[in-house]
Chain A
Amino acid sequence: MDFEPVIGIEIHAQLKTKSKMFSSAPVSFGDRPNSNVAPLDIAFPGALPTVNKEAIIYAIRVCHALNMKIDDLLVFDRKNYFYSDLPKGYQLTQYFRPIGKDGYLTLKSNIFEKKIGIERLHIEEDTCKQIHEADYSLLDYNRSGIPLLEIVSLPEISSGLEAQKFVEEVRSILTFLDVSDGKMENGSLRCDVNVSLREKGSNKLGTKVEIKNLNSFSNIQKAIDFEIDRQKSLLLDGKKLKQETRRFDENRQETVLMRVKVDDVDYKYFTDPNIVPIRLSEAFIKKAIEDMPELASSKHNRYLSYGLNEYDANLLVSSKEISDFFDEGIKTGVNPKSLANWVIQDVFSYLNKEDINIKESKVSALNLCELISFIEKNEISNKQAREVFAKMTISGHTAKEIILENNMSQMNDEKLLSEIRLILP
């Protein structure tokens, strides 16, 4: 018997808006616990929700980037359940009318190209953070009410690698749009996957297993591939799969059982009566989309138009910060190919060596371009430029300052000739 995996992904992304989804408390990471809390975030009686416009704009942009239909009537619903991390006893979400539906994402790599359907994107709020100690638990309401986007794919993913690529692509969109940090390691991007196997050629879906708490891109692939093998061997042994929730154990490099699913929880959804439905005007949606920051795919195409090769263009859009650095340099009118070479070779190796982010680089894009301009004007040689760059990474001084400090200016032909003329009788 041959099986094919059927995989669906749910992604939760925290939005980095200035304030929370339904309250005026600031969204801020790493602050003192319980310092960014409005009455609503702890569910004090009488507190009421308001809707964060910035979050709506962000959601519209992500919907657009994911080729989704945008609902112009914004409605929020209550998902009712009791839990220690849920202050109101319900979560505000969009159950009946998600802001986005019926989208897709195209995954591209050297080996494959595949369109993955996206069922829905909706806006909701985060719960508070729990810190469990041996005999007590602490609750931090700073996280309570932070806007979340939930993106739900169709079960059209068929391998761990595809799943990883899918999440990476979504992350790229979120970060290039500047709406989320997209960091799996600190929970600003979370993903759950559903894995089941079905007989090849059959339409009948197998028993679904959910894997939660995947905290890195590589773990997504590893967990899914492990789970596919586990399910396959069980099925081949003639055993029945249970509908269950598992997590990925990093030490054992395998998925382990969290709980077997019993009956579905009844969340008693109903539309929140405090938030009157909001009609989003065509102009508002259009403006949100028009003012969108440039996506990686568009930047990539632009870089190709500068004459860069596919490989270099890909490297430059591997993160929002790198492409921003590159674009800042491009604005000076520098030769794109020279700049790309410097970024990919020298800047990258400097960042790697120091183990820092490009935002922490002591060499700014403008300073790097100035250095390149000295080379292009033949004021210094390539070899000297590398020395200057090394000094820039240490002192943070400009190329000009370093050249002057070290008397490195190379005589160009014209200067040399005129000096010779002076010396010669």
Chain B
Amino acid sequence: MRYLSKPLKEIHDAILRNEVTPLDLVKEGLSYVGKDNNNAFEYICNKEAIDAVNKLDSSKKNSLLYGVPIVIKDCFSTKSIPTTASSNMLSDYIPCFDAEVVTRLKNAGAIIIGKTTMDELAMGGSGTSGRKGMTYNPWDKRRKHIIGGSSCGSAAAVSSGLTPIGIGSDTGDSVRKPASYSGLVGFKPTWGRISRYGMFQFASSLDHVAYFTRNVFDSAYLLNVLAGHDNKDFSSGYEDVIDYTKDLSKSIKGKRIAVIKEVLDCCSPKTIECFNKTLDQLRVEGAIVDIVSIDEKILKAIYPTYFIISSSEATSNNANLDGLKFGSRCEGNSFEEVMINTRTKCFSPLIKRRFIIGSLSLSKTHREELFVRAQKCRRLIVDSFNKVFEKYDFIYCPASPTTAPLFKGYNPRFNGDVNVADNYLAFANFGGNPSITIPIGFENNMPFGGNFTAKPHFDSELLNVASILEKHTGLMNLVKENE
């Protein structure tokens, strides 16, 4: 019997019935993780997970996460467990503290069984740039399609049924896009709702803790565990934590949903066909669905704006990686030489490219033209979307124009040609909006998703609409097991 491919509630019931023990679950998890052939793991917590389950406090038995093996993207600081962010720069870094998310998961009884691969330092959307190379999409046994990134390993682990929960991070679309490519629910709550303490910073003003589950209920439940103020994160919000599972079946009658025409126009026919079917389903539930327009210039500005802001913040956020204090070091005759040698050798060319672009954008000579202009663009973009939110409760579009692209021909470099549908999701990072991707269809046996986004702090309403649609599509608890 395989448990970890089931929803949280079913796993929990099995534990309560004494049908399975947390130790059994962890052993099941570790055995499948050991057989993982998607390159989803940076580190497998063979010993740590068994220790943790042996020390599990049975008073936490009410938690749905009690004894549940989970995986965490390798950019979350885990005490005494190597954390590399898939970068050679941190290949021997062992943190001395837990990220707040990790603390809260442990407190809820979850057991970490592995740290998952990612694009190096979370910069990238392909799942190919980590120090261990490409991460594969479990839906494609021929290994031709990407799974997307940067949270590639967590997506692969959850969609191949190794665990019901994979923690990731989302700075542009790093959870919501791979969720689309791997048939998962990918959820990024409102900025500040979940503490970022201990999550390696990529671009702080855009970074969100986000995660993968296989159904909306599990996502809502996980928010109950992770949400809430943390005084270690100055950007953490103070709103009360409510029970996010409570309103999942509430009627969405009269809710107003906007579909952005320009995004839809860039999608494949099959995507549009499935997407339109979901619009009918939403209408059946009484939602009012309208097709709206946003200036294409604004939509096309999202990616370059994102690239300038994120690269600028990233170059500063990663300036701590200098070889002096922790992580890898290449020796030299002076501290400058140590820094230069270490950074030259340990960062991949893609990372250096971002740092150079970020540095240039912040430099005195280019600041106004690049960084300041990108900030202004960010404001314009957020304003444009807010205008839609004045009349609508949700924006709903395909989460990706197609199913997962091929490795071959995938170009991670910005070449000026922007597919709006491929790059619009970052608007929710600009505005800090809650945003969720759920599966809506298949093309050639590869899944793809739709994405709902709401106004900041409307996480509960967002989960509600996603849950209603999920019931209609029936596309939940999708698993593509390893062969």
Identify the A interface with B (CB < 8 A). 39, 42-51, 78, 80, 82-84, 87-90, 137, 139, 266, 268-270, 272-276
Contacts and interface: CB of A to CB of B under 8 A. Distances in A.
B234 A50 contact: yes
Interface string B174-210: 0000000000000000000000111111011100000
A317 B332 CA distance: 53
B198 A274 contact: no
A78 B316 contact: yes
Interface string B72-85: 00011100000101
Contact of A46 (B200, B235, B312): B200
Given A46-B197, A46-B199, A50-B232, 11 more contacts: A44-B326, A45-B83, A47-B198, A48-B196, A49-B234, A89-B320, A272-B204, A274-B201, A274-B235, A275-B234, A275-B235
B1 interface: no
A340 to B, nearest CB: 48
A84 B324 contact: yes
11 contacts: A39-B97, A42-B326, A44-B96, A45-B77, A47-B97, A48-B197, A48-B232, A89-B322, A90-B316, A270-B371, A273-B313
B95 interface: yes
Contacts of A45: 75, 77, 83, 85, 90, 93, 95, 200-201, 320-321
Contacts of B316: 78, 80, 89-90, 268, 270
Contacts of B75: 45-46
Nearest to B336: A82
Tell me which of A39, A273, A276 has the highest count of chain B C-beta atoms within 10 A of its own C-beta: A273
Interface stretch (B104-112, B215-223, B268-276, B357-365): B357-365
B196 A42 contact: no
Interface in B299-327: 312-313, 315-316, 318-322, 324-326
Contacts of A270: 312-313, 316, 362, 371
Interface residues of B, number: 46
B231 interface: yes
A43 B322 CA distance: 11
A276 B204 CA distance: 11
Q: Is the interface of A mostly helix, strand, loop or mixed?
A: loop
Nearest to A88: B320
Contacts of A50: 231-234
Contacts of B93: 45
Contacts of A78: 316
Contact of A87 (B205, B325, B362): B325
B235 A276 contact: yes
Contacts of A47: 97, 197-198
A272 B313 CA distance: 9
Contact of B339 (A44, A82, A272): A82
Contact of A42 (B231, B233, B315, B325): B325
B226 to A, nearest CB: 16
B319 A44 contact: no
Closest 4 CB pairs of A and B: A89-B319, A273-B205, A268-B362, A43-B320
A108 B75 CA distance: 58
A90 B319 contact: yes
B192 to A, nearest CB: 8
B340 to A, nearest CB: 9
Contacts of A39: 96-97
Contact of A274 (B204, B315, B364): B204
Contacts of B201: 45-46, 48, 274
Contacts of A269: 362
A276 B95 CA distance: 26
Contact of A51 (B232, B234, B315): B234
A46 B325 contact: no
